[in-house]
Every structure is written in C-alpha cells, then in structure tokens.
Amino acid sequence: MPRAARGSTADFVQHLRVIPIEERFPRPSVMGVVNVTPDSFSDGGVHLDPAVAEAAARRMVEEGAAIVDVGGESTRPGADGVTLDEELRRVVPVLERLQGEVPVSIDTAKAEVARRALALGAELVNDVTALRGDPELGGVVADAGAYLCLMHMRGEPRTMQLEPRYDDVVSEVAAFLEERVAAAVEAGIAEERICLDPGIGFGKTVEHNLELIRRLDTLTALGRPVLVGISRKSTLRRLTGSDDLLAASVAAAVTAFERGATILRVHDVKPHVDALTVAGALA
C-alpha cells in the first residue's frame, strides 16, 4: 500500500494543503547552482568555503533565482562518488547558514543527506538517480512532503559517457521518467510534488542532448513540469568551440523554455533571469 494511504488524517489533510510544484515554481523559474565540491565540471572548488557558498546563494536569490540547488557530490562524467560523511561535511554548514532565509534544493542521491537537508529547511530533493540510488530516499521525501526532481541518467557518472546508445532517446527517456513517477507515487510522494528532468549530459551524446530539447514536448506531455540543466555543459562547448559558455547557456535555456521547460538550472543567474523574463513576456 502506498505510504500516503497509511498515514493519519492529519497527514492526509497536510497532503491536500501542499502547494503543487507548478504553483510554487511558475514557468519560467530559475534554479541557481551552488556546488560545494572540489571537482564540479564548471565551478569546482569555488564554493567549498561555507561563507562563500552562502554569499553566492544569497546573491542568486537577489538576482531572481526561485531556489538554489546545493550539492556536495560532483556528477560530472568520470567523477567518483563521495562518502556520506564527506557529503554531509560539505553541505550541512552551508544549509545551516541559509536556513529559513534562502529557498534551497538539495542535490543528493543519499537519504541521510536529504533527511538532514530537509530538517534544515530544504524544500526540494534533486535526485539525479531518480530514486534508484538509495532505497530509503523515497520515504524521506514522502515523510517530509518535499518537492522532488526525478532525472534521467543512463549508467552512472563514472562510466555514463562511454558510447551511450539509444534507439530513440526521447521516447526512452520519457518511458523511464514515467516509470520513475509511478515508483515515487508508490513510495508515497504526491504526483503534484514531482518535476522531471531529461538529464542533459548524463549518458548522452551531443545529438541526444539536442534531440531531447528539440522534442521537449514529449516530456511535458507526461503532465509534470520539466526542469532542464544545460548551463555550461560540454554540449555547448562542442557546438560553439568556445570556453566562454554564458551566451550559449542563455540561448539553450531560452530555447528549452520555449519548448515547454518550467525550471532552468543555471550557474549564471542574472543573465538567465533577464533573458527568461523577456522570453516569458513574449510567450
């Protein structure tokens, strides 16, 4: 029996009262990235000091981010995982500083990290494994009534870029996400708390990534808001041949928005907020 069906009446009423994710994050909303890691692909080491991470998060919200995504484990291609203790050591001091003042998403696949983050006020759990990494995570999200992002990834970060192959990347990602929504609902998470993410760069070639954004309508047709993270990713470097990926990131985010994305996960908040404000006004 789903967890929600076993809860008390008070739990059930609380369940009915929650704000659906599409109301909490109207289209378009910006999620600012705060990687508290030494090895993230574009901003590794920048925010390792909790005071620096805190300042970055506060600035992102001032610049118009709806939420900041705090992560203590790099998921860049080839990255090794980190231990629970190390991940907690990185993110907890940052969450303590932001508690109650800055809207926070926790980028983790570990139930214990999510539990600590939610206790410190995080409202969204961003799980790149879509609840396949830790069997406890679904229950933690359900018990807290938190929002959840389910992302598609083929393989795992250490090996995911070794010749990824699909017959039809878009329909395979859509089928995967549909199945993961069902698993999340089975774990007691209300569907209206969930958003979906094609996982740009996670076990995909440049052409797979482009096709997913071109045909984003296949994913929005699943009925859940779609989050896209393409900011500073290597697909943009491959397309432009440039190391300065700001203009490319903004163009990709605006295009993803036009194709139906609701939440854009970005490193450079101000230019994305400005561009998406204009794109939203013209929609």
Could you list the active site residues?
233, 265
Q: Which residues contact 157 (CB under 8 A, 6 or more apart)?
A: 74, 75, 76, 77, 78, 79, 81, 202
Helix 84-98 with 50-62: angle, nearest 10 deg: 50
Interface with ligand HH2, residue 227, by CB under 6 A: yes
Tell the smallest beta-carbon distance from residue 240 to ligand HH2 (Å): 18
Binding mask 238-267 for ligand HH2 (x = CB under 6 A): ---------------------------x--
What token pair was written down for 72?
A: 């203590």
Bridge partners (DSSP) listed for residue 198: none
Residue with Cβ nearer ligand HH2 (11 or 172)? 172
Interface with ligand HH2, residue 35, by CB under 6 A: yes
Q: Which residues contact 230 (CB under 8 A, 6 or more apart)?
A: 200, 201, 209, 213, 236, 249, 252, 253, 256
What token pair was written down for 7?
A: 């809860």
Positions 108 through 127 that interact with ligand HH2 (CB under 6 A): 126
Residue with Cβ nearer ligand HH2 (142 or 228)? 228
User: CB under 6 A: which stretch of 80-88, 129-137, 195-203, 204-212 binds ligand HH2?
Assistant: 195-203
Residue with Cβ nearer ligand HH2 (111 or 200)? 200
Cα 89 to the center of its chain, rounded Å: 21
What token pair was written down for 278?
A: 């204009």
The size of the interface with ligand HH2 (CB under 6 A), counted in residues, is 21
Element (H, E) at 194: strand 194-197
Bridge partners (DSSP) listed for residue 227: 263
Residue with Cβ nearer ligand HH2 (40 or 161)? 40
Binding mask 150-169 for ligand HH2 (x = CB under 6 A): -x------------------
Q: What is residue 192's DSSP assignment? A: G
Interface with ligand HH2, residue 130, by CB under 6 A: no
| Residues that bind ligand HH2 in the complex, under the rule CB under 6 A | 33, 35, 37, 40-42, 71, 74-76, 107, 126, 128, 149, 151, 197, 199-200, 227, 229, 265
